Structure 1
């Protein structure tokens, strides 16, 4: 009974929080900046994000997967900071991502680096554990790699939204897989690191 409730909670959060984050990103992109409704949606989306990857790791049962737990911790720590940045944007009425980033400087870059490194470690661990659909892990990883490219290369801003969208869709597919308890395609239940 507890396991089923845990799976429903993790699966539901893995669908809803990334969906709200995706909605917030699309709203920000379409209006070329922040507004109160969009920021509050973002805040609600970010509340469970510090714990989401830890829930996914716990559900997949990869008890020896230290790499995955480290990744979940780094990703979660980054989202604690991103939660703060959303609160700052609301309270200081910061109108755009660019202005927010300019105000926060290297702290924001450091949090982004933790998110990317944590996401890479989580994706690697999830791929090896083979409990989530490969497509979901691949989408999440593609989003993380897109975010890395944005940090390293002069690319259009739309790629930030694309990276976030791919990550979020990957997480949502993982959540749906948990809710419907879809076994991995290859039949392998768990591979320890």
Structure 2
């Protein structure tokens, strides 16, 4: 939506807000599912990642209230605090991802997708690339989270013998 409209739309910001709200619970749930194999670094990573998304949900409300039309304007308004929380997302997500790879409870391909998305987000933040490319990293990262959930469901659902 952002790419098509050349900036934020009210609907897109509302969708982002609703999407950001469950992320802290999602990461903590993925941590809990992997216990005890995941370890303390997985817990710390999931909490840091969750804190970042609590803040990102807040920034969405700021963009709605202030009629901020694009990512560059939002970043200009929030400055270092936004960057700090972006760092929390990268550090927390990396800690969680490494701990999850080590734990080998979740599908490793899904965890790898999540990590690639984080690396893409980090790279876009460091390199002189258009900020709209954050969408690519976020999409890959979110695809990894979805795949983690699907892998849990596939392990958990017991099909009747007639379907297997």
What is the TM-score normalised by the length of structure 1? 0.77
**Secondary structure at 1:62 match in 2:** coil
Q: Which residue of 2 aligns with 1:35?
A: 9
Root-mean-square deviation (CA, aligned residues, Å) is 1.3
1:98 aligns with 2:33: no
Unaligned runs of 5+ in 1: 1-26, 183-193
Unaligned runs of 5+ in 2: 157-164
Q: Which residue of 2 aligns with 1:85?
A: 59
| CA deviation map 1:129-186 (0-9, x unaligned) | 111111101100000111111122212334311110110000000011111227xxxx
**Following the alignment from structure 1 to structure 2, what is the Cα–Cα distance between the partners of residues 136 and 113?**
22
1:107 aligns with 2:78: no
What is the TM-score normalised by the length of structure 2? 0.90
Instruction: Answer whether contact 2:72 2:131 (CA < 8 A) is retained.
Output: no
Instruction: Answer whether contact 2:71 2:131 (CA < 8 A) is retained.
Output: no
Q: Within 5 Å, give how 1:162-173 maps onto structure 2.
A: 162-173=136-147
Higher relative contact order (CA 8 A, sep 6+): 1
**Following the alignment from structure 2 to structure 1, what is the Cα–Cα distance between the partners of residues 122 and 142?**
16
Q: How many residues align?
A: 156
